């Protein structure tokens, strides 16, 4: 099964609302990263949180990491229609590869 | 700022043909990664290179091979193509994580959409 799994799989909200999505993983990690992907397009890096960090902010994004529970959350505040995309978490353990979760499809309705 | 460049952006091949995808990393990034994303799936790591040497290997079929050249660009060669190879192929680059601190993010290219008919 996948290293990272996301919850929920899909999320529909109104513009201005907050969107929260969660990611769980199975093994020890060096860092966890969140990416955004617009339909069928490239992956855009949003934020990286290291294993020794618990919370990180970047603009309207807030990421938490709980290594004891092997989980992370991504909060998008004051969502905009342009935030409509799929959001993936990806973990980096030993080695170079990123292991991606299943992704959360977010629809922000104007 | 310069980004990762991938070519071609779209490629249509028939079964049993071969395909070559190219990736040009961000300047001064010496590590290149290849990922495959099937329709409706999450990206899966294929292979990575650091300083022209393979540094990590994932679920890359034996029909696929890759290399990194002296100018750090990389090519993914795919032979005996199958219908199931239809996917988005992403290349990413980063500086080398020599100390293993896991602090470097990977920057992804726009992807090559391969369609096998």
CA nearest to B59 within chain A: A97
pLDDT at B64: 97
Residue from B101, B105, B111, B113 whose CB has the most chain A CBs within 10 Å, to mutate? B105
CA angle B73, B77, B82 (to 5 degrees): 145
pLDDT at B1: 67
Q: A72: pLDDT confidence band, cut at 50, 70 and 90?
A: very high
A48–B105 CB contact, under 8 Å: yes
Whether pLDDT at A88 is above 60: yes
* More confident call, A62 vs B101: A62
> HSE on the CB side for B56, CA within 13 Å?
19
CA nearest to B87 within chain A: A40
Answer whether B102 touches A (CB < 8 Å): yes
pLDDT at B103: 63
CA distance B34 to A2: 18
Q: A2: pLDDT confidence band, cut at 50, 70 and 90?
A: very low
Could you give the 3-state DSSP secondary structure of residue B19?
strand
Contacts of A85 in chain B (CB under 8 A): none
Question: Which one, of B57, B54, B45, lies nearest residue B91 by Cα?
Answer: B45
Q: A81: pLDDT confidence band, cut at 50, 70 and 90?
A: very high
CA distance B60 to A3: 17
pLDDT at A62: 98
Segments of chain B scoring below 50 in pLDDT = none
Number of C-beta neighbours around residue A92 at 10 A: 23
Closest chain A C-alpha to B10 CA, distance in angstroms: 12
CA distance A9 to A87: 10
Answer whether B105 touches A (CB < 8 Å): yes
pLDDT at B102: 56
Closest chain B C-alpha to A2 CA, distance in angstroms: 9
pLDDT in tens, A5-29: 777 889 999 999 999 999 999 888 8
């Amino acid at each position: 099964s996948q290293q990272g799994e996301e919850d929920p799989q899909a999320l529909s909200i109104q513009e201005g609302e907050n969107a929260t999505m969660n990611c769980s993983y199975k093994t020890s990690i060096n860092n966890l990263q969140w990416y955004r992907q617009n339909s069928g397009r490239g992956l855009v890096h949003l934020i990286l949180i290291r294993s020794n960090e618990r919370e990180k902010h970047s603009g309207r994004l807030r990421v938490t990491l709980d290594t004891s529970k092997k989980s992370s959350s991504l909060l998008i505040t004051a969502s905009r229609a342009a935030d409509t995309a799929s959001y993936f978490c990806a973990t980096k353990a030993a080695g170079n590869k990123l292991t991606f979760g299943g992704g959360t499809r977010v629809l922000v309705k104007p | 700022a310069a980004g990762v460049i991938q070519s071609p952006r779209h490629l249509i091949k028939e079964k049993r043909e071969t395909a070559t995808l190219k990736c040009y990393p961000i300047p001064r990034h010496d590590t290149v990664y290849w990922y495959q994303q099937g329709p409706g799936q999450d990206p899966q790591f294929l292979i990575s290179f650091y300083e022209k040497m393979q540094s990590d290997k994932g679920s890359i079929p034996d029909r696929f091979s890759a290399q990194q050249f002296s100018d750090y660009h990389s090519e993914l060669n795919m032979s005996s193509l199958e219908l199931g190879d239809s996917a988005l192929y992403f290349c990413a680059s980063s500086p080398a994580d020599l100390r293993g601190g896991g602090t470097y993010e990977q920057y992804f290219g726009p992807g090559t959409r391969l369609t096998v008919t």
